[in-house]
Chains A and B, each alone.
Chain A
Amino acid sequence: MRVLVSWLREFVEAPADVASVAEALASCGFAVDGIEGDVVDFDVTANRPDALSVYGLAREASVAFRRPLRPPTLAPAPAGTAPMRVSIADSGCGRYALAVADVQVGPSPAWLAERLTAAGVRPINNIVDITNYVMIEMGQPMHAFDMAKLAGPELRVRRARADETLTTLDGHDRTLDESMLVIADRDRPVAIAGVMGGATSEVSATTTRVAFESAWFRPSLVRTTSKRLGLKTEASARFERGADISAPVAALRRAIALLAEIGAGQVTGGITDVYPRPAVAPSIVLRRSRLAKLLGTTVPDADVERILSGLGFGVTPQADGWQVTVPSFRVDVSREVDLCEEVGRHWGFDRIPATLPPPSAAPRPSAPAVAQARLLRRLLCGAGLQEAVTFTFIDARAAAPYAPENDLVTIANPLSEKFAVMRPSIAPGLYESLVYNRNRQAADVRLFEIGSTFSRSRGERRALGWVQTGSRGTHWSGSLGAVEFTDAKGLAELVAEAVGAPVDVAPGDDLGWLRPGERAVLTIGSERAGWIGRLAVTPDVDAPVYAGEIDLDVLALASTAGLRPIQPLPRFPSAVRDLSIIVDERLPAAELRGTIRSSAPSTLVSVREFDRYKGKGIEPGQVSLSVRLTFRHPDRTLTDTEVQQAVDGIVEALQRAHGARLRGR
């Protein structure tokens, strides 16, 4: 709302200094968007349609500066009724007032045109300008019809009929429907109620008699009509927030006064005012104790009364507070708490003492997910991955490999195709960030993100995702090698160990977005907990890209973080034996490990692969796998014979189960 301060000063003795007017109104709730010369642009919140007017803001200033408020000059109400009938056929119109005037259309005087321009309204002609002037000044939207262009001596407020059309003042043809309220003459709609008038009855240079409309329309009706038509106007902005149902006649009297003042014409007949169910001012009790409790300070009675009556409320003191009647222009005030706000903002939030709420109960614990995410972030940063944040909505094409189409959560009104689908996986977004960095000369990219993933079948799941490509790093001492599957696996193991969850791998033949032969499902027990592997399609990266994702909800359930009891330290030394076994290269190490475990005595405490070798000395199709076996007895030192027997048993079992033989034999 752009306000010319000299206009505002017609109604209240505010300081001429523009900045102090802006500051005073800002501190009672009207934020300043900008100041240009004598014009202040106030950000009027959606609950205050009454302040979308110079007079409304003058009322606030009168309380802020403790100066009396002077109302605008109104013409005396003319006797009789207007020479134009009005009928209301729909409850969406709460009041319709009308006055007819004989006019001489021409340009407005400079002072009036300048005020409108300052307020951001383009001057048109003296009659239209008067309607806009009254709207800016008093907040009541008005409209002027050229009487000569109306069919019949009556205006009807009714619903539009399906497929009725109207060319509005902006020259657009509008197709109306039954949800919309119109002003119609005998034959057809001539205005869309509360939104915009029609072009045919527009006031023009040849107009000699006009009908001024000043009405009240139900906010929700104007709002939906404006939305359906995609047409927002100064009038609709005020009606949809709630205009003052008491204002229509006063606005007409103001327009009549202005007609006379600028010599643009004179009223003929009286004012017709159709007001079927006059509003009753709501009455609210404001308790002194409630006010003090909510604000945290005691405002003196005299100030409570000064503020509320200054703002237009009727205030009657009672034993424990006040009986307060709400003026019709304050559509936002309906409860005691609303009055507390009125008192508070004019008393000044800066005068309220700052206190702290005393603790009244033991603090409750935070969600475990918060600590889990904090742990994982630090773990992965320490492991050399950079945390990323990507959008949770992605392109449908990027999402396609990760979930069947009917399982995707899609957005009905996306900003663009790029942001149309809620991500089924974090990987596509991270891949995009990886490409972004590769295109900017970063060869080694390692990113992770913690956030939600979405599907219709499983809903919203918290997940950790990562991508990695390039080398493991560079060092003067020699190459650290390129990122491989084992690096992705290593991160999954790192996370599993950190949270104490038994994460295992299983073949991932249904992971279509990963390259066959280099993909795996992560499991915890029988439940899927994520996946790792090499992305199958990476058109923008000329190096393998590995990725992984872990379902943090599944991980959290299996986690033993912080609950791991400490085992007593071993009291006897362990015995270590290394075996190099030659087996078929397709045999998974996990199977060998299983055979070793099941054939070993309980003294075997660990099995750890330490080398895998193919090539010279090993037949094609075979591989030499070296494992380190550690044996330990809790109560005594193992003898060499015992250990050797255990190893012999293991070797025999490996031979039987896998045709394995020891290397070098």
Chain B
Amino acid sequence: MSVSDLSTLQAEFDEALSQAQSAADLKAVRDRFLGRKSGRLTALLKTLGSLPPDERRTVGAAVNALKQTFEARLAEREAAVGSPAPFEGVDITLPGRRPALGRRHPLTQVRERIEDIFAGMGYQIIEGPELEDDWHNFEALNMPAEHPARDMQDTLYLSAPMPADASGRRASLLRTHTSGMQIRYMEAHEPPVRLIAPGRVYRRDNFDATHTPMFTQVEGLVVDRDISLGDLKGTLQVFAEQFFGAGVATRLRPSFFPYTEPSAELDVECQGCGGRGCPLCKYTGWIEVLGCGMVHPAVFEAVGYDPEQYTGFAFGVGIERLALRLYGVDDIRMFYENDLRFLEQLAP
């Protein structure tokens, strides 16, 4: 044992420390040199007793100095490698605390989207009764009793008429369309008219994948001095572009409704196939979106508007049908089951 042995040990330590990378490596270095049982320096200290007293003092001092050096250098490296300090943060990856997120029903989402488009064009949004009288649902809409068109809409009737309203009429049926709102509004207001009337309507249809006895419509009505079929066409084009996306192709196809003349249906290019033809559009390339037309003069006469002075257009959109397309759903019943696994997939 001599001081030169110590410098060899120091060189060994420096070498070992310089190669240590991790906390585990440092631990190994500590064990090798300072370990209580088999550490090299510890072993040296144990041999001090066998030295003569003079030598013991000088060598002992040198060994102790070396031990302090080793401790300091190890502590320095250990601190740099980062030995575990007490954890004072939070686990930012755990879920936060919050109320659950509810969603508006898909039929509401489609309805509000349509409302917003027309509100942006200056239409007012109105609502009306679901229990309706014969006058507002049929008669004033150019469908007198025994009119074959009444068969187009199989009606649900009340067991007994409701008590009379302010005008003396008694509701006797569930409205088959929102078109009665045209009459109610025009009876109470002078032209010009620019409105939409969303709401639930009823038909005596079976409840299956494509039919439902209750569904939702949005009625539209515009009346002014010079409203033309061209205005209807332009308005529906704006609606289709804002609803389905810019550049969507539309076509107006002649049809029949008792309360409009001319009558038409609006077809929109099938979103499923881009108009090439697919099962969704029955290989026609077109999807029927809504019924519309120029307000029949008999309707104006029923509400006391002069059909010579005023013309107008009306349309009725079925919300379920649009929702089926929009959400890619193939069974209309899904809108009425309120299955959370379905509803929770929606945007709020």
Stretch at the interface among A107-115, A148-156, A452-460: A452-460
- Establish whether residues B122 and A437, one from each chain, have CB atoms under 8 Å apart when the complex forms: no
CB pair A377–B99 under 8 Å, yes or no, is no
Q: Are A354 and B297 in contact (CB under 8 A)?
A: no
Q: Which of A294, A338, A413, A422 contacts B204 (CB 8 A)?
A: A413
Contacting A at CB under 8 A, from B234-254, are 234-235, 237-238, 251-254
A359 proximity list for chain B (CB < 8 A): 122, 194
The interface bits of chain B over 176-211 (1 if a CB of A lies within 8 angstroms of the residue's CB, else 0) are 000000000000000010110000101011110000
Contact (Cβ within 8 A) B162 A409? yes
Q: State whether the Cβ of A527 lies closer than 8 Å to any Cβ in chain B.
A: no
- A436, B225: Cα distance in complex, Å: 53
Contact, CB under 8 Å: B230 / A411: no
Give A409 to B213 CA distance when docked, in angstroms: 17
Say whether B192 contacts A361, CB under 8 Å: yes
Partner of B337, one of A360, A419, A436, A454: A436
Whether A337 is near chain B, meaning CB under 8 Å from some CB there, is: yes
Tell whether, in the assembled complex, residue B256 and residue A389 are in contact, meaning their CB atoms are under 8 Å apart: no
A612 within 8 A of B: no
Segment with Cβ contacts to B, from A4-12, A303-311, A321-329, A342-350: A342-350
Residues of A contacting B163 with CB < 8 Å?
456, 459
Q: Is the interface of B mostly helix, strand, loop or mixed?
A: mixed
Q: What does the 1/0 interface line of B97-136 toward A look like (CB < 8 Å)?
A: 1011111110110001001000101111111011100000
- 0/1 interface trace, chain B 29-59, chain A, CB 8 Å (1 if under): 0000000000000000000000000000000
Q: Is A560 an interface residue (CB 8 A)?
A: no
Residue A278 at the chain B interface, CB threshold 8 Å: no
Which of A241, A294, A447 is B294 in contact with, Cβ under 8 Å? A294
Q: Closest chain A residue to B263 by CB distance?
A: A341
Contact residues in A for B63 (Cβ distance below 8 Å): none
Contact between chains at B338 and A437 (CB < 8 Å): yes
Are B213 and A29 interface neighbours, CB within 8 A?
no
**What is the CA–CA distance of A412 and B222 in the complex, to the nearest angstrom?**
35
Residue pair B255, A370 in contact (C-beta under 8 Å): no
**Among the listed stretches B20-28, B64-72, B81-89, B143-151, which one makes contact with chain A, having 4 or more residues with CB under 8 Å of it?**
B143-151
Which chain B residue shows the least CB distance to A353? Answer: B230
Closest CB in chain B relative to A390 CB, distance in Å: 7
Chain B residues, Cβ within 8 Å of A419: 213
Question: By the criterion CB–CB under 8 Å, are A446 and B100 in contact?
Answer: yes
Stretch at the interface among A45-53, A98-106, A629-637: A45-53
Known interface pairs A335-B297, A356-B235, A382-B99. Does A447 touch B254 (Cβ–Cβ under 8 Å)? no
B284 at interface by CB-CB < 8 Å: yes
Residues of B with C-beta under 8 A to A338: 261
Instruction: Kindly state whether residue A260 has any CB partner on chain B within 8 Å.
Output: no
A74 and B152 alpha carbons, distance in the complex (Å): 36
> Which of B5-13, B153-161, B268-276 has 4 or more CB atoms under 8 Å from chain A?
B153-161
A29 and B339 CA atoms in complex are apart in Å by: 40
Which of B95, B103, B264, B296 contacts A386 (CB under 8 A)? B103
Nearest CB of B to A260, in Å: 37
CB < 8 Å: which of A355, A388, A390 contacts B234?
A355
* Contact B127–A370 (Cβ < 8 Å): yes
With A46-B152, A414-B156, A433-B337 known as contacts, the answer to whether A370 contacts B254 (CB < 8 A) is: no
Task: Note all chain A residues with C-beta closer than 8 A to B256.
Answer: 29, 45-48
Asked whether any CB of chain A lies closer than 8 Å to the CB of B331, the reply is no
Q: In the complex, which of the residues A240, A294, A454, A459 contacts B228, with contact meaning CB atoms closer than 8 Å?
A: A294
Contact with B along A20-31 (1 / 0, CB 8 A): 000000111101
Which residues of the other chain, A, contact B103 by a CB distance below 8 angstroms?
381, 386-387
Name A293's contact: one of B123, B152, B311 (CB within 8 Å): B311
Taking the closest CB of chain B, its distance from the CB of A583, in whole angstroms, is: 33
Chain A residues, Cβ within 8 Å of B225: 360
* Chain A minimum-CB-distance residue to B144: A220
Q: Decide if B297 touches A337 in the complex (CB within 8 Å).
A: yes
Cβ–Cβ contact B146 & A220, under 8 A: yes
Determine whether the beta carbon of A344 is less than 8 Å from that of B229.
Answer: yes
What is the 8 Å Cβ interface bit string for chain B, positions 260-288, against chain A (1 contact, 0 not)?
A: 01111100000000000000001010000
Q: Does A224 contact B (CB under 8 A)?
A: yes
- Asked, given contacts A46-B149, A393-B214, A456-B162, whether A296 binds B231 with beta carbons under 8 Å apart, the answer is yes
- A295 contacts partner chain B, Cβ-Cβ < 8 Å: yes
Q: Which residues of A contact B125 (CB under 8 A)?
A: 366-367, 370
Q: Does B174 contact A (CB under 8 A)?
A: yes
The interface bits of chain A over 354-386 (1 if a CB of B lies within 8 angstroms of the residue's CB, else 0) are 111101110111110110001001101111111
The residue that A380 contacts in the complex, of B102, B156, B252, with Cβ under 8 A, is B102
Pairwise interchain contact B253-A29, C-beta atoms closer than 8 A: yes
Of the candidate stretches A203-211, A265-273, A473-481, the one touching chain B is: A473-481
- Once the chains bind, are A27 and B158 in contact (CB under 8 Å)? no
CA distance A443 to B251 in the complex (A): 48
User: Is B230 touching A386 in the complex (CB atoms < 8 A)?
Assistant: no
Pick the residue among A294, A297, A366 that contacts B311 (CB under 8 A): A294
Q: Which residue of B lies closest to A377 (CB)?
A: B104
Smallest Cβ distance from A491 to chain B, in angstroms? 12
Bound state CA distance, A240 and B146, in angstroms?
A: 10
A445 interfacial contact with B, CB 8 Å: yes
Q: Which residue of B lies closest to A35 (CB)?
A: B283
The answer to whether A415 and B102 touch across the interface, beta carbons within 8 angstroms, is no
- The CA of A373 and the CA of B164, in the complex, are separated in Å by 28
Interface string of A46-64 (1 = CB under 8 A from B): 1110000000000000000
In the bound assembly, the distance between CA atoms of A344 and B253 in angstroms comes to 11
Q: Which residue of A lies closest to B193 (CB)?
A: A364
A391 at the interface (CB under 8 A from B): yes
B335 interfacial by beta-carbon distance below 8 Å:
yes
For B231, the chain A residues whose CB sits under 8 A away are 296, 355-357
Chain A residues, CB < 8 A from B194? 357, 359, 363-364
Q: Contact flags (1/0) for B314-348 with A, using CB distance below 8 Å?
A: 00000000000000000000011111110110001
> In chain A, what residue has the closest Cβ to B293?
A341
Contacts A381-B348, A451-B200, A476-B94 known; A363 to B104 CB distance under 8 Å? no
Asked if B341 and A31 sit within 8 Å, CB to CB, the answer is no
Q: Is B224 an interface residue (CB 8 A)?
A: yes
Q: Assess the B102–A296 pair: CB atoms within 8 A.
A: no
The complex places the Cα of A387 from the Cα of B340 at a distance, in Å, of 10
> Whole-angstrom distance from the CB of B6 to the nearest CB of chain A?
57
Q: Which of B105, B127, B205, B339 contacts A387 (CB 8 A)?
A: B105
Query: Which one of B108, B130, B158, B230 lies within 8 Å of A295 (CB-CB)?
Result: B230
Question: Interface centre among B192, B262, B335, by most A CB within 10 Å?
Answer: B262
Cα A519 to Cα B124 in complex, Å, equals 40
- Least CB distance from A587 to B in Å reads 32
Known contacts A388-B338, A411-B159; is A354 also within 8 Å of B230 by CB? yes
Q: Which of B102, B122, B282 contacts A381 (CB 8 A)?
A: B102
Tell me whether A340 and B262 are in contact (CB under 8 A): yes
Question: Contacts A220-B146, A294-B228, A456-B162: A475 and B234 contacting too (C-beta < 8 A)?
Answer: no
Provide the bound-state CA to CA distance between A377 and B252, in Å: 35
Could you write out 6 A-B pairs with CB less than 8 Å apart? A337-B262, A349-B251, A387-B343, A392-B214, A419-B213, A433-B338
Q: Beyond A341-B263, A349-B254: 5 further Cβ-contacts under 8 Å?
A: A31-B253, A219-B148, A360-B192, A382-B101, A386-B344
Q: Footprint of B on A, CB under 8 Å?
A: 26-29, 31-32, 34, 45-48, 219-220, 223-224, 240-241, 293-297, 335, 337-338, 340-341, 344-345, 349-350, 352-357, 359-361, 363-367, 369-370, 374, 377-378, 380-393, 409-415, 419, 422, 433, 436-437, 440, 442, 444-448, 451-452, 454, 456, 459-460, 473, 475-477
